Structure 1
Amino acid sequence: MREFVFTVEYDKGADEVMDLFIDNPDLHSKTMAVHATNESMWRLDRITGPTEVLEEFDAVVESVTLCNEVIGMCGAPVVEWNFETLSSTPNGRIVYSCREEGEGIQSIPYVAAKHIGDGLLMQAERRGNQYQWRLLIDDDDTVGEIYEEVDDGLSEGLSLSVQRISKPECWLEEGFDSDDLPPEQQAALEAAVEFGYYETP
């Protein structure tokens, strides 16, 4: 298996939800689970950040999901979007969402499902202006097909870059729940894990 890691970067004003991440560097979202077919996509996200920013996030997402003119990242219209907060703490949310998109080039989970099929495994993470995706793929030809379709279809104000195609890195959670940490401590903890501070010498 190979890990295909790529990032979609958003210009300010291109997406109302991503604007919140751009304006609030302490706001962070990571998928706990994400699944897709050619027809629909459903996912669980863990969102962390300052209390007041999360309250703004709640309001923006509720407004967006009720809008009839939402467009996916690759231009296909969103025809149905169900959203529910399953857990809420002062510094965290666990959010379930299910979405269907109409005709056109659809968002990344749909494109990946079309080219990979059964057994698709994905992760996604949002911080700042970056929306990073990780896919597990067993065929290098599929990487090119996914990249080309996503890159060709990205909406205005979005750009795509590839970080790596390599042996999979750790897909396991670190084994602790940091929802209740202040954003500054959580960022420091994530940085320590990323740079190997807790690894055995």
Structure 2
Amino acid sequence: MREFVFALEYDPGTNPVADVLEAHPDTTVRSLSCHVTPESLWRVDHATGSRAALEALEEAYRDATYCADCLVRDDCGADCEAQVLDRSGEELVVYTYWARTDVCTSVPHLALEHLGEGLLFETYREGRRYRWRIVLADDAPVHAFFDALGEEVGECAGMEILRLTDLDPDREATAADDPLPGEQRAALRAAVERGYYETPRRIHLSELAEELEVPRSTLSYRLRRAEAELARAFVRGDDPLDRVAPGG
């Protein structure tokens, strides 16, 4: 088995959930489950954030023009359903379902068509960035799938391959126990290497964001999340610096 990890970066106005996450940088959405058949898709997401952010996120999920993960920019005509399963002060659990129409497509549907059955999906969203992790067979045609995804995404989102690796239960660390997601790790490493943390700073945040080709707000959020995790790890007595060292 292998894992394929990639990310989509939605442009403003192309995805209501991404718009809410961009407006509320401290809010994240992680999938609890995601299932697909040729005719439908259903999933459960867990969101964390402020009360105001979660209210806006719930409204985005219930938007009549929004079907979870549908890549069609115009109204696809699908029968969509969104149901809140749990709501607390800073947490929201949402179930979404949609029945596919002739024009509908999505990441899971394209994966099913090109990579076959038996896939496992895991997603994580922050800002406009939507990270996918798919566990698939060793011989699955990953590049054909990614090419097809690029054709469907078109100009509404950027795409980036993060890794394609074999699943190895004997390796010392996995993505699940790594305290820093890949994009936070990359942002922190770039900030250190370019002198953002030096006094005086050798580079400003906006300049670093431009070099990394990400929005300034996205870079600021990733650095703050990485800094917070490193601080928590320090208090716990971990040695998080080993995990973000160059080449680590």
Structure 1 residues 171 and 68, CA gap change in structure 2 (3 angstroms):
closer
**Counterpart Cα distance in 2 of 1:69 and 1:33:** 16
Fraction of identical pairs, as percent:
26
**Counterpart Cα distance in 2 of 1:87 and 1:186:** 28
- Tell me the residue number matched to 2:24: 24
Structure 1 letter corresponding to 2:228: A
- Tell me the residue number matched to 2:129: 130
Report deviation, 1:171. 4.7
Structure 2 letter corresponding to 1:15: N
**Counterpart Cα distance in 2 of 1:48 and 1:127:** 11
Gaps of 5+ in 1: 175-183
Report if aligned partners of 2:115, 2:145 keep a CA contact under 8 Å in 1. no
Report deviation, 1:134. 0.4
Map 1:159-178 → 2, pairs under 5 A: 159-168=158-167, 169-171=174-176
Map 1:73-84 → 2, pairs under 5 A: 73-75=71-73, 77-84=76-83
Q: Which structure's residues are more often strand, by fraction?
A: 1
Which of the pair has the greater relative contact order for Cα pairs under 8 Å at 6+ separation? 1
Report if aligned partners of 2:16, 2:66 keep a CA contact under 8 Å in 1. no
Report if aligned partners of 1:35, 1:120 keep a CA contact under 8 Å in 2. no
Q: TM-score, normalised by structure 2?
A: 0.65
Report if aligned partners of 2:69, 2:107 keep a CA contact under 8 Å in 1. no
Structure 1 residues 105 and 49, CA gap change in structure 2 (3 angstroms):
same
Report deviation, 1:141. 4.5
1:84-104 Cα deviation digits (max 9, x unpaired): 010000100111111123224
Structure 2 letter corresponding to 1:72: C
Structure 1 residues 136 and 68, CA gap change in structure 2 (3 angstroms):
closer
Q: Which structure's residues are more often helix, by fraction?
A: 2
- Tell me the residue number matched to 1:51: 51
Q: TM-score, normalised by structure 1?
A: 0.79
Two-structure CA RMSD over aligned residues (Å): 3.2
Gaps of 5+ in 2: 168-173, 180-223, 243-248
- 3-state SS in 1 of match to 2:228: helix
Structure 2 letter corresponding to 1:138: A
1:58-97 Cα deviation digits (max 9, x unpaired): 22222x1x34899922558251111101000010011111
- Tell me the residue number matched to 1:114: 113
- Tell me the residue number matched to 1:94: 93
